[in-house]
Structure 1
Amino acid sequence: MRLPLPLLLLFGCRAILGSFGDRVSLSATAPTLDDEEKYASHMPTHLRCDACRAVAYQMGQHLAKAEAKSHTPDSSGSQELSESTYTDVLDRTCSQNWQSLSMTCFHYLGEFGEDQIYEAYRQGHETLEALLCGGTHGSCSQEIPAQREEL
């Protein structure tokens, strides 16, 4: 089974780095979903934090790529995108074929807005991830409810 990059990030690729010249070993496995989760239109609760981090990573990658192509440096010399450019980049990021992650991505755009997301990105990846996934109601701060036993 081949998985696209966002799903590999979502499912937690792990790399074992050795000394220089060693090969890097990567492995990823898909989470086990029950029938209800498999066909649901929402992100399962126990995967929401990983999904949020994957969305934050993809947003950051696309914004960085757009800044690298930009030719308008700000006062500190780094490339700053215009509002129309970063809005377009974020919309295109969420419009990718991500299965259920695109709904999660658009949810964050609606909740925080492109301006706030871009400002957090400019402060660093950790800030962007904290904005999207942290806080008292963030995907990564909520405890995963205990599994219910079927009757």
Structure 2
Amino acid sequence: MTMKLKILTCWLMILVLIISCNPVQCEDEEGQEDFDEDDEFDDVPAVPEGMSRENMMKWSAPDLNDEEAHSTRLPSNLKCDGCTAIAFQLSVLIQAFHTSKFAKKGKKAPESDIIDLVEKICDKQVFDSYGVKPMHGVNRLSGPGLEAAEEPGMMQGGGRWPHRLSMMCGEIVGEADEYEIYEYILEHGPEELFSFLCENPDNDTLNSCGGHKPKDEL
């Protein structure tokens, strides 16, 4: 009986050795985590749908020519954009002023109120959000009411740009007259002010754009 017990014990030990693993190997297996071959890319930003990484746009700062960089006045190649921006601000702010204070009364604003309002509109602070941006290989002014504002790219703002637009605004208003601008908006609508201020063939100051078309929102 004792011999049988020894034999049984021996077989049990052999069986345990066969089914058991090497302690070091087991330790390695226990410390190993499941690995998904895609896990290493989890932190990479997603590429917008429809765009490959190779085709992602690289933006660069605008390359200014000498006039764009140093002139105290708005460069000639940007005057149409400048006039468009000025017409946009005048039309929006004058229309809002009239609607809030005089439209319901069926009256027109006093001339002194309009002169004060236009003077504030032509202040350079109104144009703080404008600057220059490369668009299809050409520098364009960018800001509210302008086509380039909706184009992706790097804009150079501040600096001389608000002052240049403020100066041009004063020249346009001095040529067209503040109250005449106000009455034109009331008669024709704010969307028509662009043509009046920027496409007037009889006045060089008011003809910055010639055949150019304004942005739809103007």
Q: TM-score, normalised by structure 1?
A: 0.64
Q: Equivalent residues in 2 for 1:33-112 (5 A)?
A: 33-71=64-102, 73=104, 75=106, 80-97=108-125, 98-112=162-176
Query: Paired residue for 2:11?
Result: none
The answer to whether the 8 Å contact 1:94/1:106 transfers is: yes
Structure 1 position 127, deviation (Å): 2.5
More helix by share: 2
Structure 1 position 71, deviation (Å): 4.5
- Aligned-partner Cα distance in 1 for 2:198–2:61: 21
Structure 1 position 94, deviation (Å): 0.5
Structure 1 position 126, deviation (Å): 3.4
Tell me the percent identity: 31
Decide whether aligned partners of structure 1 residues 142 and 38 sit closer, same or farther in structure 2, where only a CA change above 3 A counts.
Answer: farther
Q: RMSD in angstroms over aligned alpha carbons?
A: 2.6
Structure 1 position 142, deviation (Å): 7.4
Q: TM-score, normalised by structure 2?
A: 0.46
Structure 1 position 46, deviation (Å): 1.2
Gaps of 5+ in 2: 1-59, 126-161, 213-218
Structure 1 position 115, deviation (Å): 1.7
The answer to whether the 8 Å contact 2:67/2:75 transfers is: no
- 2:108 is matched by which residue type in structure 1? E
Q: Aligned residues, how many?
A: 113
Structure 1 position 139, deviation (Å): 0.2
- Aligned-partner Cα distance in 2 for 1:30–1:111: 35
Gaps of 5+ in 1: 1-28, 144-151
